[in-house]
Chain A
Amino acid sequence: MKEQCSIEVHNLTTTYGNTPVLWDVDFELPSGQIIGIIGPNGSGKTTLLKTIMGLLSPASGYVKIFDKNIDQMRERIAYVPQRESVDWDFPASVFDVVKMGRYRSNNLFRRSTKTDLAIVEESIEKVGLSDFRNRQISQLSGGQQQRVFIARALAQKADIYLMDEPFVGVDAATENAILSLLQEMKKDGKTVLMIHHDLQTVSDYFDYLVLLNTRLIAKGTPQEVLTEENLSNAYGGQLTLLAKVANLIKENEFPIRERDVDL
């Protein structure tokens, strides 16, 4: 039986000190789709991912993964943190880092099995880093480092993938490579939930959107979410820019003729 709802977030409030970062956020996400989380800086996007993963505990509300508690579902959910969150001078090779995707709390004291190593090789190949498998991670470009992180998540063989801004500091070639990888994952029935910052590309990349600014502003298909009203509710003051974005989206969806538009 196929599960309809991948992640359920119920009345979730997360605070940092006394300041709420997420306030009463409530949604259910479909499974087997590529889902984007958008919102201005400081709107709680990363906090939302961390709360879903159980890295932060909510002040109130709960999160369910396939209708179960996260701790029962760890095997089925993979997390890709922000690339800047780790020290890339750490003495490890691409292979070492991707191998961490096979680590579990119950196999830390055992050697990696042959199956594990085969999965690691396969994941490295999927992100196109086979030629770099023994390369020290500090000697990779930003895009390559991001692909190492994605390979590590692939090695987890999960059903849901949470990614924190995988397109930041990444060249166009890598962005395209990651995108086609995501499409492949979607074909295999995987769910991807990703924080994204570039409003120009959201309607191309995502099947479903969550628009956030501490509170949940809107959720649904890109067409439903990307209205001028929703965007100005989320982004506030930057109205002129947003009007342009909204127009741009409309034009892209109902093109009269091909043209280049500069924001």
Chain B
Amino acid sequence: MVGDAISHAVLPGIVVAYFFSGDKTSGLLLFGATLTGVIASAIIDFLSRKAKIQGDASIGITYTLLFALGMIMIASGGGNNVDLDMNCVLYGDIATINLDKVIVDGNLYIGPYAFYVELVAFFIILIVLLVGFKGFKLISFNEDFAKSLGINTGIWHYLMMGLVALTTVVGFEVVGAVLVVGFLIIPPATAQLIVNQLKNMLIVAVAFGVGAVIIGFYVASWFNVSYTGGMILVAGINFFIVLFLSNFSKKLKLKA
């Protein structure tokens, strides 16, 4: 679960970048946090490949260490003007997202700040994916084979980790460091149950993710509970429904 590790490990990066910029809405913050995420995956890589520590142990060591570092930095004030608190980091602040407004022309409100951050991230990820699709497909299926073709798999690996870090950083401001992992994993895992092409998996995963967000939002407001919790709950229930249905249809096919 490298996504899990990165989502927790970006914390010190955010604090440090926040400390220097003093501003929650800074691009520096995004950059610092993304960089820390990539560094975290490099440490994990080093531990598992060079120091021969087991994979899951390497991940556990790295992200708890960096997360603890971030916690201490926040607790010790990391600059007195910092209003970053652990609750917001862990659980996100989607309910108060509207407080950071983007206002143009003095009074025209065109949506929350976070929306534009995510929009930029979306286009960056979309473009990198479209351009590098073959490379990502090759190294995620068979890295050794990619190396045997003389392809520099290190660059591709860190490019992918960079995208994961970017996604996590823009996501966790809104939904928190814990549940952002759910958004990273559950929709694609659900999609993989029913598709047979990588391209379709990406599209279906996005559809499942957006669906869970919309339904989860209304369910949560209906019951007046946490928005993020509602969204992940919907995504999780959806996963089990699809799992059940796909097993059921496989059995039908076998009988027929």
Residue of A nearest to B201 (CB): A91
Q: How far is the CA of A85 from the CA of B147 in the complex (A)?
A: 14
Q: Does B196 make an interface contact (CB < 8 A)?
A: yes
Q: Is the CB of B151 within 8 A of A96?
A: no
Residue of A nearest to B148 (CB): A79
CB under 8 Å from chain A, chain B span 116-153: 131-132, 134-135, 137-138, 140-142, 144-152
User: Do A136 and B151 contact each other (CB < 8 Å), given the known contacts A92-B141, A100-B141, A103-B138?
Assistant: no
Q: Is the CB of B148 within 8 A of A100?
A: no
In angstroms, how far is the closest chain A Cβ from the Cβ of B91?
A: 33
Q: How far is the CA of A201 from the CA of B151 in the complex (A)?
A: 36
User: Do A85 and B200 contact each other (CB < 8 Å), given the known contacts A74-B149, A74-B150, A108-B134?
Assistant: no
Q: Does A93 make an interface contact (CB < 8 A)?
A: yes
Note all chain B residues with C-beta closer than 8 A to A53: 147-148
Q: How far is the CA of A50 from the CA of B147 in the complex (A)?
A: 10
Q: How far is the CA of A79 from the CA of B150 in the complex (A)?
A: 11
Q: Is the CB of A105 within 8 A of B151?
A: yes
In angstroms, how far is the closest chain B Cβ from the Cβ of A248?
A: 35
Name B145's contact: one of A77, A90, A100, A109 (CB within 8 Å): A100
Q: Say which size band chain B's interface belongs to.
A: 20 to 34
Q: Say which size band chain A's interface belongs to.
A: 20 to 34
Note all chain B residues with C-beta closer than 8 A to A91: 192, 195-198, 200-201
Note all chain B residues with C-beta closer than 8 A to A156: 149
Residue of B nearest to A70 (CB): B150
Q: How far is the CA of A210 from the CA of B201 in the complex (A)?
A: 44
Chain A 79-95: CB-based contact to B (< 8 A → 1; otherwise 0): 10100011101111100
Note all chain B residues with C-beta closer than 8 A to A105: 149-152
Name B132's contact: one of A81, A85, A103, A108 (CB within 8 Å): A108
Q: How far is the CA of A74 from the CA of B147 in the complex (A)?
A: 10
Note all chain B residues with C-beta closer than 8 A to A71: 150
Note all chain A residues with C-beta closer than 8 A to B134: 103, 108-109
Residue of A nearest to B51 (CB): A17
Q: How far is the CA of A78 from the CA of B144 in the complex (A)?
A: 12
Name B151's contact: one of A50, A77, A103 (CB within 8 Å): A103
Note all chain A residues with C-beta closer than 8 A to B142: 81, 85-86, 100
Q: Is the CB of B144 within 8 A of A104?
A: no
Residue of B nearest to A53 (CB): B148
Q: Does B255 make an interface contact (CB < 8 A)?
A: no
In angstroms, how far is the closest chain B Cβ from the Cβ of A165?
A: 14
Q: Does B52 make an interface contact (CB < 8 A)?
A: yes
Q: Does A54 make an interface contact (CB < 8 A)?
A: yes
14 pairs across A/B with beta carbons < 8 Å?
A17-B52, A54-B147, A54-B148, A55-B147, A74-B149, A85-B144, A90-B198, A91-B192, A91-B195, A91-B197, A91-B201, A92-B197, A96-B137, A156-B149
User: With contacts A17-B52, A90-B198 known, what are 6 further pairs, Cβ within 8 A?
Assistant: A53-B147, A78-B148, A79-B148, A86-B141, A103-B149, A108-B132
